[in-house]
């Protein structure tokens, strides 16, 4: 054996040890069960194999824009008032579809410079246009608008992650999904009943404390009648819980102030507790700044009522007996212990910047996952063994060579998956991923066949074994590169477009084919060289 | 051992037969796509609700249908799933049964419809989450635990649920089975019947896709296929001459058309994984074509005197052994997948089985003749044939 060949062999052994470590780490023993345990530790299974829940959420980013625009309207009104400029109406003509668009009507003539300076100083993220017929248009700068929307998604992801972490789901995946459609992908391994998790994630948890101006009323009409047909300025009607004495589905309505004294942002903590009747409730404390505002509000409203509003629904109304600084309680609505616990957890994790809805929900039960592993592995083993046997029969001596290359290919592929877990990237093995492994075996053998057929051809043309091997490899190499590149291009496109299972398939296929370039060409060639080095000159090659 | 020794088949001479064969299948598939089954999109693409239910006893499909109709579900499709001995049923609801407010309303309706004779104040153990079991145990406290109860009952609840799902395959037939469950405390096994009852079914897999995602995915799948084809065209144009790229892409398009056509003809649903299989086939079918093209390029240099059709024929014959062997071996692995890979991968492996047969056939019967036809056409018009030798060698 030449020194050069020895180095190549050592290199191959080194690579194999590296990837074997990726698969098994340092196993506790060499028995079948401890090897299997090491394997399952290192190879991260996709949701379709491990069982769990897969959700795609839509963030309604327009909600966040809406909040910003309403805030802008308030600022405008306040500024116009303080500069004593008259206006007839400031509102959003289409809050559903273009919430950032605000129209100012009936602005007193000659207020142009004032308006411009208000927008410049207080609303720098908006553009002001128009001016004809005393009507102005205010809309958000496009770059600010897309910033705000993507910020809403990032913030929603953070909030959802907080909540899921507190639920104790292990290894969840929470990430942006799709191509700029404001969607979030959530994968929860081991969760096979997503009902509660879904409710918790979806809850916007927007807590506000407002002044209660009247109610409860049995219906919206009744409230309007009570106020003489027109709601007082800066007040809104919100639904509350069922009124005592009415049917269960009958709702009550409250008239509350539009502005809130404090909101969820001012919360420091929330904990489950029980109210004076011993019913489950949630008590919360406010931050220093929020507490100061709450104190100012309550001290100037002693004798009035305040309403605790959660997600635009009045939870309870209480009389302000004395100024309150930093504590409050949410009770009423007949909460269960679990609900009180969940609500306090949701409040602690912060509010969602926008409402969300579910677009896709998949739950794989653990029994199906286990079945899929069994049948996938069975198909892989059968397919693999069939190919190995065929290569041995058809190519005899060289068949061993191909079989070694194939097995090495498999080790590198699985080792790659194992190393991804060690590195924390967690490339998951999915059911289509197992299919990708099988396909790699089928397609990987193609390179061997190409080379062997070429070597046979060269031998038939009368070349000596060493030069036939040399020619076979160099001619087949170009073809092998071409075929691999085209397949990897397909797989890469799949990787970009696919999710979950399909991504797993694209990954195993791509990496399997890359590994194949190494095993079918380099490893296989070294084996040939080694075999040839042990043969006498002129002795035939078994192929 | 050798299957093909010194073969010399005149493939190009049979091009009209090939054309007829390909036309029949493409047109049949196309007609089915347009007028018969259309493109049978799976739930990933059309939206809807799929609920996979396992029954304790052989399911009565008629009774299930009556129950679902009574629940007011629009035209549910009810079919047996996998092997009959597993008692599994797939219920397929239209996308109308999803809504933005409650995506899973169809699933909830199915579960409610299937639950019958529900005892008051009891929960169905076969459809209970481990959390529900834990909450019951915490309430009841059969093990009389003081501290640490939360953790221990969580473990107990998980042991019960995992025995049901992983060992029994999803459903308890009777509470007696609990006694044999590993890691379940006897007092827990004894207490469970107080709070639970057993329905005769368990839901083991749910797929719900809203209408929005479906449309979005269809666009993406179409784009992915298109980009794949463009990728091939560009790469082959760069490595060979552009006509090689065109021939390869036409060939692959032919393969895709026939594969999708076969799904339409057999009314087999095209799921996301089937699209993955088709994209893989685009790569695979190209492999075959490239191997033949590579040989043509090599032979053009060696056989300067011969006619192109002669060179192409020779090239196909020289690579025939490799083509058939590789296709055969890949086919073998894919067939193993189709036969033993289980129900979930059925559509995926079907696409591969069809595609590998077609892909191998087309590299010989479609790609090479296009190449020759193009050169003949140029010569007829009095131009010189395009310079063939590869430039990128």
Q: How far apart are CA A231 and CA A226, in angstroms?
A: 9
d(CA B33, nearest CA chain A) in Å: 24
**Half-sphere exposure (CA, 13 Å, Cβ side) for A223?**
22
Instruction: Give me the residue from A361, A379, A439 closest to B280, CB to CB.
Output: A439
Helix (H) or strand (E) holding A515: helix A500-516
A386/B333 Cβ within 8 A: yes
Is pLDDT above 90 for B262? Answer: yes
Percent of chain A with pLDDT over 90: 16
SS3 A480: helix
- Give residue B391's pLDDT: 40
B103/A366 Cβ within 8 A: no
Q: How large is the average pLDDT for residues A417-434?
A: 85
Chain B contact for A435, CB < 8 A?
yes
d(CA A60, nearest CA chain B) in Å: 12
- Give residue A90's pLDDT: 85
- Find out whether A270 and A294 touch, Cβ atoms under 8 Å: no
- Find out whether B43 and B94 touch, Cβ atoms under 8 Å: no
Q: What residue of B is the nearest CA neighbor of A443? A: B330
- Give residue B390's pLDDT: 43
Domains parsed from chain B with CATH numbers: 12-43+210-380 (1.20.1640.10), 48-208 (no CATH)
- Give residue A159's pLDDT: 87
Which DSSP symbol is given to B270?
Answer: B
- For residues A281 and B337, which has the higher predicted lDDT (pLDDT)? B337
Q: How far apart are CA A391 and CA A449, in angstroms?
A: 9
Q: What residue of A is the nearest CA neighbor of B207? A: A362
- Give residue A1's pLDDT: 62
Q: Which residues of A touch B291 (CB under 8 A)?
A: 450, 479, 483
A505/B273 Cβ within 8 A: yes
Question: What sign for the dihedral angle of Cα A312, A318, A320, A326?
Answer: negative
Q: Which residues of A touch B352 (CB under 8 A)?
A: 439
d(CA A162, nearest CA chain B) in Å: 20
Position B392 confidence tier, pLDDT thresholds 50, 70, 90:
very low
- Give residue B389's pLDDT: 45
* ipTM for the complex shown: 0.83
Is pLDDT above 90 for B25? Answer: yes
Average pLDDT along chain A: 83
A351-372 pLDDT per residue, tens: 788 888 899 999 888 888 888 8
Q: How far apart are CA B67 and CA A183, in angstroms?
A: 36
Single pTM value for the model: 0.80
B185-205 pLDDT per residue, tens: 888 888 898 889 998 898 889
Question: What sign for the dihedral angle of Cα A194, A196, A197, A201?
Answer: positive
Range with the poorest average pLDDT among A4-18, A61-75, A332-346, B122-136: A332-346
Q: Which residues of A touch B210 (CB under 8 A)?
A: 358-360
Give phi and psi for B9, each to the nearest 5: -100, 135
Q: How far apart are CA B210 and CA B49, in angstroms?
A: 8
Q: Which of A151, A59, A139 shows the shortest CA–CA distance to A100?
A: A139
Is pLDDT above 90 for A388? Answer: yes
B223 to each of A114, A359, A483, A493, B359, how far by Cα in Å?
51, 21, 22, 10, 21
Instruction: Give me the residue from B100, B206, B291 closest to A479, CB to CB.
Output: B291
Chain B interface mutation, best of A184, A199, A359, highest count of B Cβ atoms under 10 Å? A359
> Count of CB contacts below 8 A, A vs B?
230
B208/A367 Cβ within 8 A: no
- Find out whether A373 and B330 touch, Cβ atoms under 8 Å: no
B220: which residues sit within 8 A by CB, 6+ positions away? A497
- Give residue B361's pLDDT: 93
- For residues A325 and A71, which has the higher predicted lDDT (pLDDT)? A71
Sheet holding A173-177, edge to edge: A173-177, A183-189, A52-59, A356-364, B201-209, B48-55, B88-93, B77-81
- Give residue B393's pLDDT: 37
Strands A327-330 and A280-286: antiparallel
Position B170 confidence tier, pLDDT thresholds 50, 70, 90:
confident
Position B353 confidence tier, pLDDT thresholds 50, 70, 90:
very high
Q: What residue of A is the nearest CA neighbor of B335? A: A383
Q: Which residues of B touch A52 (CB under 8 A)?
A: none
Domains parsed from chain A with CATH numbers: 3-51+365-533 (1.20.1640.10), 62-145 (3.30.1240), 203-360 (3.30.1360.200)
Q: What residue of A is the nearest CA neighbor of B226? A: A493
- Find out whether A494 and B276 touch, Cβ atoms under 8 Å: yes
Average pLDDT along chain B: 86
Instruction: Give me the residue from A196, A372, A489 closest to B344, CB to CB.
Output: A372
Position A515 confidence tier, pLDDT thresholds 50, 70, 90:
very high
Q: How far apart are CA A175 and CA A186, in angstroms?
A: 7
Range with the poorest average pLDDT among A227-236, A441-450, B96-105, B240-249: A227-236
CB atoms within 10 A of CB A36: 12
Q: How large is the average pLDDT for residues B264-273?
A: 91
Q: How far apart are CA A446 and CA A454, in angstroms?
A: 12
Bond preceding residue A216 cis, omega within 30 of 0:
yes
Range with the poorest average pLDDT among A179-193, A224-238, A291-305: A224-238
Range with the poorest average pLDDT among A322-326, B60-64, B165-169: A322-326
Which DSSP symbol is given to A235?
Answer: E
Strands A262-263 and A207-217: antiparallel
Q: How far apart are CA B204 and CA A119, in angstroms?
A: 57
- Find out whether B89 and B60 touch, Cβ atoms under 8 Å: no
- Give the DSSP per-residue string, A405-444: HHHHHHHHHHHHHHHHHHTT----B-HHHHHHHHHHHHHH
d(CA A436, nearest CA chain B) in Å: 10
Range with the largest mean pLDDT of A525-539, B66-80, B92-106, B347-361: B347-361
Is pLDDT above 70 for B386? Answer: no
Position A333 confidence tier, pLDDT thresholds 50, 70, 90:
low
- Find out whether B364 and B8 touch, Cβ atoms under 8 Å: no
- Give residue A332's pLDDT: 62
SS3 A208: strand
B92 to each of A40, A471, A473, B68, how far by Cα in Å?
34, 58, 53, 11
Q: Which of A113, A111, A112, A122 shows the shortest CA–CA distance to A84?
A: A111
- Give residue A220's pLDDT: 74
- Give residue B144's pLDDT: 84
Is pLDDT above 50 for A279? Answer: yes
- Find out whether B255 and B359 touch, Cβ atoms under 8 Å: yes
- Find out whether A95 and A66 touch, Cβ atoms under 8 Å: yes
B278-295 pLDDT per residue, tens: 888 888 888 888 888 888
Percent of chain A with pLDDT over 70: 97
Q: How large is the average pLDDT for residues A452-479?
A: 89
A296: which residues sit within 8 A by CB, 6+ positions away? none
A446/B326 Cβ within 8 A: yes
Give phi and psi for A438, each to the nearest 5: -65, -45
User: Residues of B211-227 as b/e, b for ≥16 C-beta within 10 angstroms?
Assistant: bbbbebbbebbeebbeb
Q: Which residues of A touch B2 (CB under 8 A)?
A: 456
d(CA B307, nearest CA chain A) in Å: 23
- Give residue A519's pLDDT: 92
Q: Which of A53, A42, A135, A57 shows the shortest CA–CA distance to A358?
A: A57
- Find out whether B203 and B111 touch, Cβ atoms under 8 Å: yes
Q: How far apart are CA A99 and CA A64, in angstroms?
A: 9
Chain A interface mutation, best of B123, B280, B343, B357, highest count of A Cβ atoms under 10 Å? B280
């Amino acid at each position: 054996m030449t020194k050069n060949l020895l180095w190549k062999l050592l290199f191959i052994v080194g690579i194999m040890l590296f990837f074997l470590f990726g698969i098994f780490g340092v196993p506790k023993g060499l028995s079948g069960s401890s090897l299997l345990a090491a394997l399952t530790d290192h190879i991260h299974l996709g949701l379709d194999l491990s069982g769990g829940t897969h959700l795609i959420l839509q963030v309604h980013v327009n909600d966040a824009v809406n909040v910003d625009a309403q805030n802008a309207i308030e600022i405008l009104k306040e500024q116009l008032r303080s500069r004593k400029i008259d206006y007839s109406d400031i509102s959003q003509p289409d809050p559903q579809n273009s919430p950032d668009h605000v129209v100012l009507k009936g602005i007193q003539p000659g207020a142009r410079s004032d308006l411009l300076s208000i927008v410049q100083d207080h609303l720098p993220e908006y553009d002001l246009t128009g001016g004809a017929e005393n009507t102005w248009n205010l809309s958000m700068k496009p770059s600010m608008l897309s910033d705000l929307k993507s910020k809403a998604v990032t913030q929603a992801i953070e909030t959802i992650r907080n909540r899921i972490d507190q639920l104790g789901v292990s290894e969840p995946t929470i990430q942006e999904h799709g191509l700029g459609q404001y969607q979030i992908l959530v994968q929860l391994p081991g969760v096979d009943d997503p009902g509660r998790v879904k409710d918790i994630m979806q809850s916007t948890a927007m807590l506000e404390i407002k002044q209660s101006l009247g109610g409860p009323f049995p219906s919206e009409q009744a409230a309007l009648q009570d106020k003489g047909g027109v709601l007082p300025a800066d007040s809104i009607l919100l639904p509350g819980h069922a009124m005592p004495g009415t049917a269960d589905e009958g709702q009550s309505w409250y008239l509350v102030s539009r502005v809130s004294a404090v909101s969820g942002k001012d919360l420091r903590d929330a904990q489950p507790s029980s109210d004076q009747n011993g019913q489950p409730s949630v008590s919360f404390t406010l931050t220093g700044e929020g507490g100061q505002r709450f104190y100012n509000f309550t001290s100037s409203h002693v004798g009035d009522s305040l309403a605790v509003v959660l997600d635009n629904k009045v939870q309870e109304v209480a009389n302000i007996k004395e100024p309150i600084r930093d504590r409050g309680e949410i009770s009423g609505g007949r909460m269960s212990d679990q609900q009180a616990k969940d609500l306090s957890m949701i409040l602690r994790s912060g509010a969602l910047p926008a409402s969300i809805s579910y677009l896709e929900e998949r739950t794989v039960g653990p029994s199906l996952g286990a079945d899929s592993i069994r049948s996938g592995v069975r198909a892989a083993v059968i397919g693999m063994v069939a190919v190995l046997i065929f290569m041995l029969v058809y190519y005899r001596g060289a068949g061993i060579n191909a079989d070694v290359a194939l097995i090495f290919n498999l080790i590198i592929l699985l080792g790659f998956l194992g190393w991804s877990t060690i590195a924390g990237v967690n490339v998951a093995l999915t059911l289509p991923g197992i299919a990708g492994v099988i396909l790699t075996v089928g397609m990987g053998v193609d390179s061997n066949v190409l080379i062997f057929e070429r070597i046979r051809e060269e031998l038939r043309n009368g070349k000596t074994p060493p030069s036939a091997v040399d020619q076979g490899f160099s001619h087949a190499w170009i073809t092998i590169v071409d075929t691999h590149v085209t397949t990897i291009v397909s797989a890469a496109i799949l990787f970009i477009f696919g999710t979950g299972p399909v991504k797993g398939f694209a990954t195993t296929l791509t990496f399997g084919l890359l590994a194949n370039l190494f095993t079918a060409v380099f490893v296989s060639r070294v084996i040939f060289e080694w075999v040839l080095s042990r043969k006498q000159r002129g002795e035939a090659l078994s192929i | 051992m050798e299957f093909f020794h010194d073969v010399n088949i005149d493939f190009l001479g049979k091009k009209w037969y090939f054309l007829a064969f390909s036309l029949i299948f493409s047109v049949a598939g196309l007609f089915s796509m347009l007028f018969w089954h259309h493109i049978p999109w799976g739930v990933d693409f059309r939206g809807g609700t799929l609920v996979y239910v396992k029954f304790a006893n052989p399911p009565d499909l008629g009774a299930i249908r009556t129950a679902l109709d009574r629940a007011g579900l629009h035209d549910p499709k009810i079919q047996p799933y996998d092997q009959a001995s597993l008692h599994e049923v797939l219920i397929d609801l239209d996308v109308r049964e999803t809504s933005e407010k409650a995506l899973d309303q169809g699933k909830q309706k199915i579960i409610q419809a299937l639950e019958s004779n529900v005892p008051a104040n009891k929960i169905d153990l076969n459809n209970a989450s481990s959390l529900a079991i834990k909450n019951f145990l915490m309430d009841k406290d059969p093990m009389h635990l003081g501290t640490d109860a939360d953790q221990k009952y969580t473990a107990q609840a998980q042991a019960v649920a995992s025995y049901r799902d992983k060992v029994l395959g999803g459903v308890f037939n009777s509470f007696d089975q609990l006694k044999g469950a590993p890691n379940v405390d006897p007092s827990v096994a004894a207490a469970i019947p107080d709070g639970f009852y057993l329905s005769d079914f368990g839901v083991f897999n749910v797929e719900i896709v809203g209408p929005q995602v479906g449309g979005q995915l269809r666009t993406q799948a179409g784009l992915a296929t298109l980009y794949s084809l463009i990728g091939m065209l560009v790469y082959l144009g760069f490595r060979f001459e552009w006509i090689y790229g065109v021939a390869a892409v036409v060939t692959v398009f032919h393969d895709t058309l026939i594969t999708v056509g076969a799904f339409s003809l057999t009314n087999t649903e095209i799921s996301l994984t089937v699209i993955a299989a088709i994209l893989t086939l685009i790569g695979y079918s190209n492999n075959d074509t490239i191997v033949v093209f590579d040989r043509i390029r090599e032979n053009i240099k060696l056989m300067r005197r011969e006619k192109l059709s002669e060179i192409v024929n020779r090239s196909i014959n020289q690579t025939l052994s490799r083509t058939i062997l590789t296709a055969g071996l890949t086919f073998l692995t894919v067939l193993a997948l189709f036969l033993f890979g289980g129900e979930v991968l059925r559509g995926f492996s079907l696409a591969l089985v069809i595609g590998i047969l077609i892909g191998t056939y087309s590299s010989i019967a479609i790609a090479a003749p296009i190449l020759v036809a193009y050169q003949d056409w140029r010569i007829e018009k009095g131009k010189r044939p395009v310079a063939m030798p590869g430039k990128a060698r």
